[in-house]
Structure 1
């Protein structure tokens, strides 16, 4: 029979073996996870054509990618929200970097309650007395929305929102859906708040189109995602005009619904919540505030099968983001400003 001391030694050896095995497995698991993420980063780079200037930059971007992937997977596994996140083309950018590049809304004097009203803006809200509203609206189905575009590494969201609303009213007025030129606004609308890739404001974009006598099409003046010199010859070739614009009454989702039921509307939102960068599907209910920093276009609204009211919003980050470039944002929330401040600063062109 084995002595007590021998049994004790065997137990210690078993304990040491268990700890060593567990540690080895954990180490191997961490190594496999790291390897897996490294492989995923390489695959992601290939998919989106990412090339870094050197090894140091690649290592830095991998760390950001890894942190973002972990955030996305942790969020999705919690399954407490009615929307999902996805590893998209922005996965190697921090939220600060992303906002600095993509969110170029500048409200300035036009976004202030103290601003001077322009000659081409009216104080009226022509949809004020509209009472019969459809239960849902999707201007894509009515032919008033062009395909989703991509502003690229340029803070020109304001120009895309201005143009989308103008494309909408032009189609409703003429029956012709024409893709208009954001680049004309980026290059030529630079005497005031609007400063191309450095940001701008939709109402100032409407002002430019009105004073210029119209705007040209995208085919004539294509988008380059850079600040270039204004091509006055192309600028003079007008294919669409607007007569003026109106503001939607502030802090009223009901008023915004009246407007969106009748035409696509430019809206300002706070897109600073980290989850907005990686939004993939569902009804967005993120932890955003009311620091308006991004211009988008409300092109509809509806209710999900499980009863969630939402706004249908066209973004300008390409079709790889969100629901093929669109986001559904929760509608009719308790806060009067609406989710992400969507009801705080909305306007639409008139023709």
Structure 2
């Protein structure tokens, strides 16, 4: 009987020891994430209004850290995730502030539907191209907490074609599109798309430089400004055709819409992004600035985003090309267009 009692006592101590160990582990983990949060705040200059706000943001930050670490620990994907300057935002906040693509009901009559690159043959398209290397891409920008991705996508495509045609790279004004395209169908920080932006630039006689019409991350009053460059119009890439998109991107940077609502997209850090399912709702706009193939033979698109350099590969993403889905990975081939000059 005494022996049995001793066994019970030992068992109780083992259970209590295990529980204490687990509690200590959780405490250490919590402390580690808290320290990481403080470091992150310092790195990105984040300041909260009060302790209640800090606690709320820490809870969001902790969940995001755990998601990223769990994903990377599994080690089964062709890409890695990482924290960035947006890591204390909830999903709803992030999508409202950092995306903003809303498809126009249709391309207007001023859009040329002929697609000028349709007759390019496979031999005309190089195996890879990076428009950054050709001087046609400005440095990574940051749309901040304004849902005007559409303006950045349109501007990047215009910057590219102007450099290709005229040999001069000029950073152009997203703020002008933000302020001035409501009559063309865009809604400032509440969303828009690229065709009305191109249409405005064409009708307005051009678009100002970033220097003369700087970005404010909020919609303001449309101001008269001397255009720095002009375009002649815009065209659409045939929908759901990566082959046609490849032809277009081989000739110039192209504005595209994409699904960016997934956590993996939000925390993409490196590698070739190849999620199993992004969903189908296009909600973000970026710019395709190249394509290529990795050393192991994986084909990819090179995308320029506008979430700052802390996101992705210094602001860029490699995303799987020719994956077999009609619209491309995350719908990247569903809705693409480019300016003409």
Q: When the two structures are superposed, what TM-score results if normalisation uses the length of structure 1? A: 0.94
Shift of 1:63: 1.0
- Residues 156 and 200, structure 1, Cα contact 8 Å, conserved in 2: yes
The answer to whether the aligner puts 1:100 opposite 2:89 as a matched pair is: no
Shift of 1:118: 2.1
The answer to whether the aligner puts 1:197 opposite 2:185 as a matched pair is: no
**Dislocated runs of 4+, deviation >3 Å:** none
Size of the aligned set, in residue pairs, is: 338
Other-structure match for 1:226: 218
- Residues 184 and 197, structure 2, Cα contact 8 Å, conserved in 1: no
Other-structure match for 1:84: 80
In 1: Cα distance, 2:127 partner to 2:32 partner: 46
Structure with larger Rg = 1
- Residues 82 and 283, structure 1, Cα contact 8 Å, conserved in 2: yes
Other-structure match for 1:7: 3
In 2: Cα distance, 1:298 partner to 1:307 partner: 20
- Residues 302 and 310, structure 1, Cα contact 8 Å, conserved in 2: yes
Other-structure match for 1:157: 149
Shift of 1:41: 1.1
What SS is found at the alignment partner of 1:84? strand
In 1: Cα distance, 2:285 partner to 2:90 partner: 20
Shift of 1:254: 0.1
What SS is found at the alignment partner of 1:261? helix
- Corresponding residue to 1:212 among 174, 194, 204: 204
Shift of 1:230: 1.5
Q: Give the alignment of 1:1-351 within 5 angstroms.
A: 5-110=1-106, 117-119=108-110, 121-131=111-121, 132-232=124-224, 234=225, 237-286=226-275, 287-351=277-341
In 1: Cα distance, 2:5 partner to 2:257 partner: 71
In 2: Cα distance, 1:324 partner to 1:313 partner: 11
In 1: Cα distance, 2:52 partner to 2:35 partner: 17
Shift of 1:226: 1.0
- Residues 140 and 309, structure 2, Cα contact 8 Å, conserved in 1: yes
What SS is found at the alignment partner of 1:260? helix
- Residues 184 and 199, structure 2, Cα contact 8 Å, conserved in 1: no
Residue segments in structure 2 that go unaligned for 5+ positions in a row: none
Residue segments in structure 1 that go unaligned for 5+ positions in a row: none
- Residues 95 and 277, structure 1, Cα contact 8 Å, conserved in 2: no
What SS is found at the alignment partner of 1:191? helix
